[in-house]
Structure 1
């Protein structure tokens, strides 16, 4: 099992909020200006900026500034540690369930005899 990774905690924290997940979904299409990201949320710009800073701190997005316009882009490879962690835990639970299934089948076969 992988050791505790503080970056993984940052990623899960960033992904825990539905507003941040919707921002990531939007950025998966194409980079966008902060004002474009704020419009569908109904949140004030400072609140959206806080959400963006959480995403940027987790490494899920990058931002660039051109004059007064700040543009955000997604960093898809930043999700690789989450994917690896989930795959590892899926394998653990599938192995446990396979053992449980084999046990139940043995018990059922023994009870039929």
Structure 2
């Protein structure tokens, strides 16, 4: 059964670093790899984003930089973009976040927004 392309679980994450791997499978040649740390809404104040304490390596076809907040997707959904459909990956950057609003409050705004 083909994956349901209407369902892409997305998460907000902060780019905290990068990975350099000179030896990798051919499908990954030339791909930028980032360390990303997922964030969630602070359950107490609901006024800011806080880290989940986890990290992942993500393929970045968009050119995000360290310190930026990004949208990521994981699992089989990570291979549903045209850029990643032939790659053996589990996490991909699918957007660069400018702002996040929850309950009419801005809980994140990038320096560029």
Category of TM-score, reference length = shorter chain: under 0.3
More strand by proportion, 1 or 2? 2
Quick check: which one's helix share is greater?
A: 1
After TM superposition, the score normalised by the length of structure 2 is 0.23
